[in-house]
Amino acid sequence: MAATELEPANTERAVVTHVDTAEVPSAEWGWSGESPRTFKIAAIVVAVILLAMIIGNHKGKIEDLFLIGFAASLIGIVIYDKIYSRKPR
């Protein structure tokens, strides 16, 4: 059977020149990947918002403990990622 574009011969390499936009829709406008810096900034902003929610009209302290706990876990994840992203693998 002769080699065609759909079925390359064994000696030919199939070269992928584009990303299928059905699989990766953002590839259509030129970006396909993650942005770790944006995720870290978003986590810190959310942690600050959670800590700002302590100021409110609630009487109990259970809400404060949950807000502080979630904010601390977000900041802990950011610090963990900052430390371990510098280590060579």
Instruction: Note the pLDDT tens digit of each residue in 78-89.
Output: 999 999 888 776
Residues 6+ apart with CB under 8 A from 18: 27
Confidence at residue 56, expressed as pLDDT on a 0 to 100 scale: 84
Radius of gyration of the chain (CA): 24
pTM greater than 0.75: no
Give per-residue pLDDT as tens, 6-64.
665 566 555 555 666 667 666 666 666 678 889 999 999 999 999 999 998 888 889 99
Contact yes or no for 74/43 (Cβ under 8 A): yes
Distance (Å, rounded) from C-alpha 28 to C-alpha 20? 9
Element (H, E) at 2: none
- Helix, strand and coil content of the chain, in percent to the nearest 5, comes to 55, 0, 45
Segments making up each domain of the chain, as ranges: 34-86
